[in-house]
Structure 1
Amino acid sequence: MSKAFIAATLQDSTGCTGVAANLAAAELIAAIVKEMKKEGGFTLPSFGTFTVRKTKARKALNPRTGEPVKVKAGKTVRFKASPNLKKAV
């Protein structure tokens, strides 16, 4: 799914212009990102839950050279599908 797909869906369902649909899609994505930063997660009922998890620093291997490389700690986003989504798919 892309921003263009979301904008096209909004445009078709509401009958608004393409510019307005693109703006609405951008605002929707920005609101989701803001909520995930603030709360550490986001739930869409009947779809699933997005959660932000911290990753620990670790050692990895460079695939080209095989040398060990240090990977810094960071954050990643996880998704868990709701039972309704699992049934629908």
Structure 2
Amino acid sequence: MNKTELIDAMAADAGITKAAAKKALESFLGNVEGSLKKGDRVSLVGFGSWSVTRREARDGRNPQTGKTIKIAAKNVVKFKAGTELSNSVN
């Protein structure tokens, strides 16, 4: 499912226009992104939670040449599925 299909499904389920569904989805995504940028954790009970962790700099290997390269440190977003979501796909 892509973003357009999700917007269509949200509009149909909620009985709202596609424009309203798009605005709601963009608001949700913007608020999640904003919270993660501040270092906060976003948790939806039963669905899952997003958090940001720091990945330290490390040495890697170029698979084409075999040479050792430096991989810079960076922040990464992690998602952990909630119990209800995990159970629904199994």
Common topology (TM > 0.5): yes
TM-score, normalization by structure 1:
0.84
Q: Aligned with 2:38: secondary structure?
A: helix
Contact in 2 for aligned 1:57/1:71 (Cα 8 Å):
yes
Moved more, 18-27 or 50-59: 18-27
Q: Once superposed, what is the RMSD of the aligned Cα atoms? A: 1.7
Q: 1:60 to 1:3 in 2, by over 3 A?
A: same
Cα deviation, 1:16-60, whole Å, max 9, x if unaligned, reads 222222222111111111111224321011111111100000111
Q: What corresponds to 1:69 in structure 2?
A: 69
Q: Structure 1 segments of 4 or more deviating over 4 A?
A: none
Map 1:48-63 to 2 at 5 A. 48-63=48-63
Q: Aligned with 1:70: secondary structure?
A: strand
User: How many residue pairs align between the two structures?
Assistant: 89
Q: What corresponds to 2:13 in structure 1?
A: 13
Q: CA deviation at 1:85?
A: 2.0
- Percent identity at matched positions? 30
- Which runs of 5 or more residues in structure 1 are unaligned? none
Output the CA distance in 2 between the equivalents of 1:22 and 1:37: 22
- Which runs of 5 or more residues in structure 2 are unaligned? none
Q: What corresponds to 1:32 in structure 2?
A: 32
Output the CA distance in 2 between the equivalents of 1:69 and 1:75: 19
Q: What corresponds to 1:78 in structure 2?
A: 78
Output the CA distance in 1 between the equivalents of 2:18 and 2:86: 32
